[in-house]
Amino acid sequence: MHSSNHLQVLLVAALTYGEYVSGALAPLKQPVAQVAQVQQSCINRDVSYSIPKRSPSPPKKTFLTAETEQHAVNGSSLPGVEFDIGESYAGVLPISNHADESFFTSTHEIDSKEITIWLQGGPGGGLLLENGPFIWQPGTAQPTRNTFSWTNLTNMVWIDQPVGTRFSVSSPNITNRYELTEQFMGFWKNFIDTFDMHGYKVYLAGESYAGYYIPYIANGFIDANDTSYFNFQGAAINDPIIGNEVIQFEGVAMQYFNHWSEVFGLDGATVANITAQNEKCGYAAYLNKYFQFPPPPAPVTFRHKYWQQ
């Protein structure tokens, strides 16, 4: 490993607390009417939030120390952001000593000694468009406060990795996910030292290409058997890529079609043709063999004759 390698991260601590109210859909009996009902429910959705108001005066900076001061961000002076995003830190920490981060602290007792790591398939997508403290949506003139920020619930850190991703610096020098895990753990240990988070419960979360990263990193945390730095508690992966993309995208299409067949309303000949294509492509046999638990050995490799040329 090279100490010059750095990872870009954004760290945010809990700000407030919120709740979601969700419902379940009944089986389709009158598909057209029920689709219209679902559409209307999205418009008139009854949501009740229990989000405590922020303190009228700025809270004490809980992570500001002589060591973290160099990473401190003035949350009230970000360009284009017309509100104070709270306590935050940003910078670059090499995989052996330092990385770039931004951190927001909680004003409520709900905050505890835990932190969630967010890994994104497309760097910056989660932070700026989904679960960060502020979001800048397409078609809007400027960022807005994110009512549904995950910082309402826990300390958050967004990390750009592996080395070479987005604002992380230096050149990539790994060839597999085991080396990726080794680099990430080197960074994480230094991150914990920098912000004095020893013993904090750690959760891994992400989406898309993070499906390739999180299982390996989680395994590395567990194997380390060191709760001072790698106190792994759980993981969540949304819409993950965990194997061959074509199979992931197309392999379950028939099941989706069968479940919503009343909505599609296709004639028998078309249904028969789709079913035959599903069989011909091998998707039906694939699902029957591999969609079980515990899963059998990996069915595909990531090598392709075109990639090897």
The pTM of the full predicted model, rounded to 2 decimals, is 0.69
Check: CB of residue 10 under 8 Å from CB of residue 167.
no
When mean pLDDT is compared across 87-91, 171-175, 186-190, 255-259, the lowest value belongs to 87-91
pLDDT tens track for 84-131: 877 777 777 766 533 455 555 554 555 578 999 999 877 778 888 898
Cα 158 to Cα 10: distance, rounded to the nearest angstrom: 4
- Where does the pLDDT of residue 20 fall: very low under 50, low under 70, confident under 90, or very high at 90 and above? very low
Instruction: State the pLDDT at residue 279.
Output: 94
Q: Which one has a higher pLDDT value, 54 or 163? A: 163
Check: CB of residue 158 under 8 Å from CB of residue 9.
yes
Residues contacting residue 45 through CB under 8 Å, at least 6 positions apart: none
Q: Which one has a higher pLDDT value, 227 or 241? A: 227
Is pLDDT above 80 for 52? no
Is pLDDT above 60 for 35? no
**Cα dist from 84 to 59, 133, 143, 144, 157, whole Å:** 12, 10, 12, 11, 18
Residues contacting residue 251 through CB under 8 Å, at least 6 positions apart: 283, 286, 287
Cα 163 to Cα 9: distance, rounded to the nearest angstrom: 11
Is pLDDT above 60 for 79? yes
- Where does the pLDDT of residue 308 fall: very low under 50, low under 70, confident under 90, or very high at 90 and above? very low
Looking at residues 145-169, what average pLDDT do you find? 82
Instruction: State the pLDDT at residue 106.
Output: 53
Vertex 36 angle, CA 34 and 39, to 5°:
110
Q: Which one has a higher pLDDT value, 303 or 162? A: 162
Per-chain mean pLDDT for the chain = 75
- Where does the pLDDT of residue 21 fall: very low under 50, low under 70, confident under 90, or very high at 90 and above? very low
pLDDT tens track for 287-307: 888 877 776 666 655 444 434
Vertex 136 angle, CA 130 and 138, to 5°:
95
What domains, with CATH codes, occur in the chain?
Answer: 6-17+52-242 (3.40.50.1820)
